[in-house]
A = this chain, B = another copy of it.
Amino acid sequence: MFSSEDKFREECGVVAVYANPEASKLAYLGLHALQHRGQESAGIASSDGNTVFVHKAMGLVMDIFDEETLLRLPGSIAIGHNRYSTTGDSALLNAQPIRVDCNKGMIALAHNGNLVNANEIRSRLEKAGSIFQTTSDTEVIVHLIAQSREQTLPDAIADALRRIEGAFSLVMMTRDRIFAARDPRGFRPLAMGRIPAPDSTRADTIVFASESCAFDLIGATFERDVKPGEMVIVGPEGVHSRYFAEQKKQSACIFEHVYFSRPDSRIFGRSVQLSRDLLGRQLAREAPVNADIVVPVPDSGVTAALGFASESGIEFRFGLIRNHYVGRTFIEPEQRVRDFGVKLKLNPVRSLLDGQRVVLIDDSIVRGTTSRKIVRMVRDAGAREVHLRISCPPTISPCYYGVDIPTKDQLIGANKSVEQIREYIGADSLAYLSLDGMRVACGEGETTAYCTACYTGHYPTEFVDVKDIKPAAGLVVK
């Protein structure tokens, strides 16, 4: 059960379509399927062979695009981008795709991830006379491409990508080609798919997307992941692959499996559903509890909770109901209703909880305040005992690769012991999954190795100066 929650935010989801008469419409549907990866803004660029068009705006994909806006995105090539939610209209400046005119022609680019040497490059480029119109780290990539001395565009892109450090799954387009690339450590997912041509006179449609669930909606078949360090080029001459850099030690974001990706997606060569099920099962083995029912914190805790229930033999129950109508702003009564914010989203089912010993399954504790309210809510609904189980280790460190995690001083896991956290949130017991347990559940070593920096503080890249690095452009501290 993927989530419209906003516990964590990631920038972003990307999609690309090559050689389809309805390219922008397929991009739009793909973005819709990836809506959970970013709800702030969305954009699509398309090309009719002569011009690269672009339309982007604040809001949800389905609110931004309609028949009319899609008509203004003609052509058979398109890329799209979803971005997460911050406040303020001016954030439109940072919406993607970014489209530029440069000596390599018209280029549009959409980026998922976060660069760790963007500030350094930006500062160097500015010194040399470049101007920056956004606050996004993505803008440095187009500058590097434009300034590359390589003669061909593929070479220039490869040159640029070698100069950036950090997490990037990119889709790019010119008037007649799509380029898709992933950083050499493979932080963020990016998959390639195919829609077979209706007849032999036409070429297959090639598509790229952050998650395979986007393929399902548009009738495309998953073909393979773009490899770390690989750049796939799709054009009139067909599909070509090259490596712009050697693969480094893999550091796929394990949090994609734990929280971000939709369970119906396949990422890093593995089903998200499977990983979450095993996270729950492993948790049941590591931290068993005598209880009557297993209750997930919906929507993101559901799959792990099912795994926990199966493994433990304790009945699974939807003891908390999620209200999907909740929007951005909500008006609170002045006479405070206790835990109002959580109540707007979750309502306990008293008939299920009353008198029960409850195992509550969630996928993370950030500051602890929400968990505390949920535990209290479950207790208020009559639960006799509330045991909280978290399907990953304590989050102790921010992410510099594209996930919006608060700074250390705001992370309860970085500042309190598990027992102290238990006490704070008021649970009868609390347990986190072990780091090794999490790795095993997510198939560490089978198809990839994982970045677990947010649980360990060990970052796979070097930083010139950590303090200078923005954890994520537009980071919302919570």
By a beta-carbon cutoff of 8 Å, the part of chain A in contact with chain B is: 1-2, 4, 21-22, 25-26, 28-29, 32-33, 35-36, 53-55, 57, 60-63, 65-67, 69-70, 72, 88-90, 92-93, 98-103, 122, 126-133, 135, 142-143, 146-147, 198, 213, 216-219, 262-264, 266, 271, 273-274, 298, 302-303, 306, 310, 315-318, 321-327, 329-331, 333-335, 337-338, 343-344, 347-352
B89 and A333: CB pair below 8 A?
no
Given contacts A318-B263, A318-B302, A343-B216, contact A29 B333 (CB under 8 A): yes
Q: Which secondary structure dominates chain A's binding surface?
A: mixed
Known: A2-B323, A92-B92, A306-B316; 12 extra A-B contacts, CB below 8 A, are A1-B322, A22-B334, A32-B323, A35-B325, A66-B331, A101-B126, A101-B135, A218-B337, A262-B321, A263-B318, A263-B349, A316-B316
Q: Which residues of B contact A88 (CB under 8 A)?
A: 72
A67 and B331: CB pair below 8 A?
yes
B72 and A217: CB pair below 8 A?
no
- Selected contact of A347 from candidates B54, B264, B343, CB within 8 Å: B264
Q: Which residues of B contact A325 (CB under 8 A)?
A: 4, 32, 35-36, 60-62
B70 and A331: CB pair below 8 A?
yes
Given contacts A143-B131, A325-B62, A338-B219, contact A213 B90 (CB under 8 A): no
Q: 27 A-B contacts, Cβ less than 8 Å apart?
A: A1-B322, A2-B321, A4-B325, A21-B335, A22-B335, A32-B325, A55-B89, A62-B329, A62-B330, A63-B327, A67-B331, A72-B88, A100-B132, A101-B131, A102-B126, A103-B127, A126-B146, A129-B146, A213-B321, A216-B347, A262-B321, A262-B347, A264-B347, A271-B350, A274-B351, A303-B318, A306-B316
Q: Which residues of B contact A315 (CB under 8 A)?
A: 310
- Selected contact of A100 from candidates B62, B133, B273, B348, CB within 8 Å: B133
Q: How far is the CB of A210 from chain B (nearest CB, A)?
A: 15
Q: How far is the CB of A347 from chain B (nearest CB, A)?
A: 5
Q: How far is the CB of A159 from chain B (nearest CB, A)?
A: 12
Chain B residue nearest to A126 (CB atoms) is: B103
A343 and B217: CB pair below 8 A?
yes
B327 and A62: CB pair below 8 A?
yes
Q: How far is the CB of A391 from chain B (nearest CB, A)?
A: 15
Q: Which residues of B contact A303 (CB under 8 A)?
A: 318
Chain B residue nearest to A205 (CB atoms) is: B335
